[in-house]
Structure 1
Amino acid sequence: MASLQNSHIESQIPTELLIARVMQLHASISKLESLKPSKQVNSLFTQLVKLCTPSYSIDIKDLPQEVQEMRESLIVLCGRAEGLLEQEFATFLNKIPQPLNNLNLFPYYGNYVKLASLECRILKENGVVQPKKVAFVGSGPMPLTSIVMAKNHLKTTHFDNFDIDEAANNVARRIVATDFEFEKRMKFLTGDILQVKEKLGEYDCIFLAALVGMSKEDKMKIIRHIRKYMKDGGILLVRSAKGARAFLYPVVERHDLLDFEVLSIFHPIDEVINSVILVRKPVF
């Protein structure tokens, strides 16, 4: 771990230069005709991720207004590009035999495996072992977290995957439908999570994907809604970002979660981009 940290420190550049480079990449990405995977799209986003991954001590809140606005636009562009990349790969997987055995063809599969392993370890350390029923909000066309967790970690858990996009759910359903046993534990529900109410009380644990609620206001609205309807003592796992990684994903901080009992906050320093915040709804 120490050597990883050192290599990141060595690869850091001054904050002014980092911001200038991010703004440059944002300008190039904004000019693209399409965000669908292509040599140019892949190259620009790879550069962006490499640039933002080292553990900079930058605080997004301290940045000038112009940079804040650029960041908000960049997060939306990253979200769209990520969705299109997942859609393309999920469609490709559905054309080959045994898609569930070929998930490793997805370029960031290794990151999902690491993140799922990390999140399950954090859950376990906080007493959440083999929850009966879990919800994943924002599962997308490639529901990798749910699949990796269901296969490798939570082997008896039932997963409900929520996504606002029916097309994404249809592609995901077809991947899972190739394994009868697996399909029994994995459901896909389409709709806006803000319209889901009593059903949220069924889950022992709810995962909130990083790109659900791209602005701070939207993210907090969703978190407040989930808290209102989830069961007392239920667990919510929120993905966030820290430092320069906040140019890629929205940020949720401890003080945003004062209505919960904060159990754990973890900021990775390797190629896993997302921070993990684990909270519990208090029992009154």
Structure 2
Amino acid sequence: MPLAESIKLKEQIINQYKHAYKILTDEHDLSLNNPIINQTLYSLVNNLGQFFEHELEDEILSDREIGKIRSDMLRRLETAETLMEFHYAEKFIQDTPNINNLKKFIYWDNYERLVDIELKKLFAIIEGQRLSSIAFVGAGPLPLSTILLQQQTGKPVICLDIHTEAYDVGKKLIDQYGLQHSLTYVLADGASYHYDGCDLVWIASLVPNKEQVVQRIYETNPNAIVAIRSVDGIYQLLYEPVDATVFQNVVCEEIGRTKANSSIINSTIFYRFQDV
């Protein structure tokens, strides 16, 4: 790619990120009720996807102006994502309970592809080892990942969330759609839950206390496999990547990871505790 074109593309994505940050800072309503937020975030996510594994990724991520706003931007993006999940969850609760309704979620295809890739990697890792139960930390008000995991594995999933409102809405959705026999909502901090019986524990990308959750899994079920959703490359402008070096009190061995692409934001890292 010619140097002039590279510089132009780099400036475009940096300016778009700064513009999105300004909008998320200026707007009081970060929910889907605000069309400005809808368009801004959809355009940003779409354009970042086109930059995944681009030669300019590192230059963009290390840009001084990006560095100044990234931390606060991630916080605002988390708020917007949470509000989006509540919006759709409440909409689905009001609809006639039909599992196909969930496919109306704007990012349903992304979730479906992500879980499919995750499970293919998992089954390659465990090589026929039987699963009994799955726990998902940070299930939120719209538990699409847990629904897809349960459907594709046939195993019960425990949906953990520390926030009362997310728990209430998520549980209501599960109950209304008749999924309560295979999906169980629990109001709890993943760092205090007892994981005995869960041989696979998923940790959502927005869970803030991953270190403490991993420590608790180790204390209560050191034989469990842990799957943590992370991000690589340009997607670090949307989420904080997992830093395994913070797992200071446990020794984790990375046993596999999935790879993001232009349409799937998350990469997922699979861990096993070494001293079991």
TM-score, normalised with respect to structure 1: 0.84
Q: Note if 1:29 corresponds to 2:24.
A: yes
* Paired residue secondary structure (2:73): helix
Deviation for aligned residue 1:64? 5.3
Q: Note if 1:75 corresponds to 2:71.
A: no
Partner of residue 267, structure 1: 259
Conserved 8 A contact 1:203-1:230: no
Partner of residue 162, structure 2: 164
Partner of residue 99, structure 2: 100
Conserved 8 A contact 2:60-2:66: no
Q: Note if 1:15 corresponds to 2:10.
A: yes
CA–CA separation in structure 1 for the residues paired with 2:255 and 2:188? 29
CA–CA separation in structure 1 for the residues paired with 2:6 and 2:105? 27
From 36, 41, 46, give the equivalent of 2:42.
Answer: 46
The 1:140–1:255 alpha-carbon spacing in structure 2 relative to 1, beyond 3 Å, is same
Partner of residue 147, structure 1: 147
* Paired residue secondary structure (1:264): strand
Deviation for aligned residue 1:239? 0.7
Partner of residue 174, structure 2: 176
* Paired residue secondary structure (1:34): coil
Percent identity (aligned): 22
Deviation for aligned residue 1:81? 0.8
* Paired residue secondary structure (2:47): helix
Deviation for aligned residue 1:65? 5.9
CA–CA separation in structure 2 for the residues paired with 1:272 and 1:228? 29
CA–CA separation in structure 1 for the residues paired with 2:7 and 2:124? 32
CA–CA separation in structure 2 for the residues paired with 1:27 and 1:96? 35
For structure 1, list consecutive stretches of 5 or more residues without a partner in the other structure: 1-9
TM-score, normalised with respect to structure 2: 0.86
Q: Note if 1:113 corresponds to 2:112.
A: yes
Conserved 8 A contact 1:100-1:178: no
Amino acid at match of 1:88: H
CA–CA separation in structure 1 for the residues paired with 2:18 and 2:107? 24
* Paired residue secondary structure (1:23): helix
Deviation for aligned residue 1:179? 4.6
Conserved 8 A contact 1:136-1:206: yes
Amino acid at match of 1:143: P
For structure 2, list consecutive stretches of 5 or more residues without a partner in the other structure: none
Deviation for aligned residue 1:230? 4.5
CA–CA separation in structure 2 for the residues paired with 1:74 and 1:174? 31
Conserved 8 A contact 1:141-1:169: yes
Deviation for aligned residue 1:124? 0.4
Once the two structures are superposed, residues 173-205 of structure 1 have per-residue CA deviations (whole angstroms, 9 ceiling, x without a partner) of 12221354x311211111322233xx1233101
Map 1:190-269 onto structure 2 (within 5 A). 190-196=187-193, 199-213=194-208, 218-219=209-210, 221-253=211-243, 259-269=251-261
Amino acid at match of 2:175: A
CA–CA separation in structure 2 for the residues paired with 1:166 and 1:60? 41
CA–CA separation in structure 1 for the residues paired with 2:109 and 2:7? 24
The 1:139–1:266 alpha-carbon spacing in structure 2 relative to 1, beyond 3 Å, is same
How many matched pairs? 265
The 1:222–1:44 alpha-carbon spacing in structure 2 relative to 1, beyond 3 Å, is farther
